[in-house]
A and B are shown apart, each in its own frame.
Chain A
Amino acid sequence: MPVRANCHRHFLADTMPDGTENPLKYYRGIAMRDAAMTAIKPGSRDKFDLDSMDEDDFLVGNQGGIGFGGGISGGFIQFGNWTGDLEQNPHNIVHVLVGRGGGWIGNPITAGVDPLFWLHHCNVDRLWQAWMGAPGKHMVNDPRWNHGPADRAFIMPVVGGNKPGISFGGQDCLAGGLFFPQYDDLTKGTGVTQGVQAVTRVSMGPSESQTVEVIGANAGPVRVSAEPAMTEVAVDLPGANAAVLSMGVTEPGEEVSRLYLALESVKGDLASGMLDVYLDLPEGAKPEEHAEKHVGSVALFGLNVASKPDGPHGGNGLSYTIDITDQAKQFTAAGLGKGLLKVTLQTRDGHSGDATITVGRLSLLKRTGKVG
């Protein structure tokens, strides 16, 4: 589902409601109207979409490697750092696309001072609210989320800038919370309709009874710089065959599975960037000429912070999952049956230079549930 790159009228108005000049009218010295249009130019591989709204579960697996909401943070999770679906796309993608001209929103350290950040994050909150209101979605009632995030504190500045501001957590932005807004509409541009079930995906049953297991992995860390890097994921055949058999199952009560490609411990010095992922690219082929082999992109927002050895992620970087269930037929022929999956990684133009991105391990995950 495409997202229209249109700009909110409050950012375009010449004056504030009281007649004074609108400080939001300019973005980095350029009129917002032009800045927004030149900054957000999604390319063919940007996959800037609302696919995450199709996910039914907020959190699956021990540390949230798969799900709409994503990874648990804090001292208990020392090696995880998983990125959730909504966090990945559109959240991270927008940070990266809008910030790629050098805007503050492109770096987690400066993002909060960018006026577009607040517009963007309000929209992420709105998408979350819309998702919760759609039937068939399993939101958690988990204090680790309600009182989170555990790895940092959120502070809302007060007018006049007096310290300490207002501290708040996840719960304060949900219904009944201090910062919960009244939404006029939760359908427009959200990809879901309130109270109406969209049959985009087979329900996999309660989140807690679903399992996630690794059924394939490559041999070791992959370094990606200006040149694309190819690696082979060796697949455990019994696991893969079982996954293939139960992938399209719709019979209630039967086992159903989805397949994910996981990029574990992605590290680098970049504040943000994009990594394109291709499956089964022919030897020596140029990735950008094979859109049909492109299975997804990960927006590396905050890679620099997550890769710092003494930062809150302990230098483990970030981890991502890409749902490749729909491409399954394509790569059943392409190597899943032979037990080998060829994966090519390429950094996106303008972000590569001589900077290197390392992926600790590439693995194939099988998520299993029972059709509900």
Chain B
Amino acid sequence: MTGLIEHFRRPPWPALLGVSAAGYVIWLLGSIGVLPAAVCVTGAGGWPGGAELWEVVAATLTLNAPGSLLTGWSMMLVAMMSPLVAAPIVHVQQSSLARRRARAVAGFLVGYSMVWLAMGVPLGLLALQAQAAFGPSAFPLAVGVALIWSASPVHRRLLNRAHRSRPISLFGMRADGDCLVFGIEHGLLCAATCWAWMLVPLLAADWHFTAMLATGIVLLAERLSLPRTAQWRMPVAMSLALRLRAHLFPLVLNRRHG
């Protein structure tokens, strides 16, 4: 635990956790109408059964201005993804000339965000379709899919690949290019790893914020788990829940036994 704190108190963690927290707060303010941001990609009550996908998409775009959909999705990304990029940011900083560090990080972030912003379209469509097809059962179904996905060897292999670094050039255009390409590459691996969990908050309706926060923590725990052999394993989300329970229950038991 103290080791964990030791890591979190070193740069770039405080800054990234701060940005993440700001993302959550802005999203929350948007959802209660204080700020003009979109609440959720899907309608709160679910769509009537049998609706065609295009009808749902049309309705969503009518009810929510595309601009506010984009803001909502961006804030979700800022809140959930900021802590995930700590290690690549350190890599990019340390690989670059001191006077180019900020620029290198910016290049990485542009590449990384491009991928995730674009991912909003397929993920949004997938969420709408799931909502249309399964109605209220879409949310528990999404949690189930995410748990199975994160237990799978494919997921582990992708997660291991997301721990792979790339040499960054030191000078000129090549340096900028390398940072951008590393951002895109890392973003693609990140999206390929996290897509299933990202559907969970999108389908959580009234519980969107809670689901977003919980999913953000799960994704961070997955990212911080050590690379290991790709095989069926207990999902990180579940071992995290068990560990939390183990931390909480001994206290309760001790109290009971005086």
Contacts and interface: CB of A to CB of B under 8 A. Distances in A.
A221 B223 CA distance: 26
B97 A79 contact: no
A11 B94 CA distance: 46
Interface in B18-54: none
A214 B96 contact: yes
Contact of B87 (A79, A143, A144, A264): A79
B94 A74 contact: no
A221 to B, nearest CB: 6
Nearest to A220: B167
Interface string A62-99: 11010000000011111100000000000000000000
A74 B170 contact: no
Contacts of B224: 75-76
B245 interface: no
A65 B225 CA distance: 22
Interface string B159-190: 01101110111110000000000000000000
Contact of B170 (A77, A217, A264): A217
B6 A311 contact: no
Interface in A91-119: none
Contacts, number: 106
A150 B170 CA distance: 31
B171 A76 contact: no
Interface residues of B, number: 37
B72 interface: no
Contact of A214 (B10, B86, B97, B225): B97
User: A-side binding surface: helix, strand, loop or mixed?
Assistant: loop
Interface stretch (B129-137, B227-235, B247-255): B227-235
Nearest to B157: A310
Contact of A62 (B6, B90, B96, B156): B90
A77 B87 contact: yes
A341 B253 CA distance: 65
Interface string A297-331: 00000000000011111111000000000000000
B88 interface: yes
Contacts of B86: 76
B96 A143 contact: no
Contacts of A315: 160, 163-164, 227
Interface string A213-225: 1111101110000
Contacts of A220: 167, 169
Interface string B93-118: 01111100000000000000000000
B122 interface: no
Contacts of B6: 142-144
A52 interface: no
Nearest to B13: A76
A78 B168 CA distance: 16
A97 B88 CA distance: 35
A150 B160 contact: no
Contacts of A214: 94-97, 170
Interface string B203-226: 000000000000000000001111
Contacts of B160: 309-310, 314-315
Contacts of B163: 78-79, 314-316
A10 interface: no
A75 B170 contact: no
A144 B228 contact: no
Nearest to B161: A309
A192 interface: no
Given A79-B91, A314-B163, A150 B227 contact: no
18 contacts: A61-B94, A63-B94, A75-B226, A77-B87, A79-B87, A142-B6, A143-B6, A144-B3, A147-B3, A213-B97, A217-B95, A219-B169, A234-B171, A236-B97, A311-B227, A312-B226, A312-B228, A315-B227
Interface of B: 2-3, 5-7, 10-11, 86-88, 90-91, 94-98, 156-157, 160-161, 163-165, 167-171, 223-230
- Top 7 nearest A-B pairs by Cβ distance? A314-B163, A78-B87, A79-B165, A143-B2, A75-B224, A314-B227, A361-B167
Given A79-B165, A310-B228, A314-B160, 4 more contacts: A62-B90, A78-B88, A213-B98, A312-B228
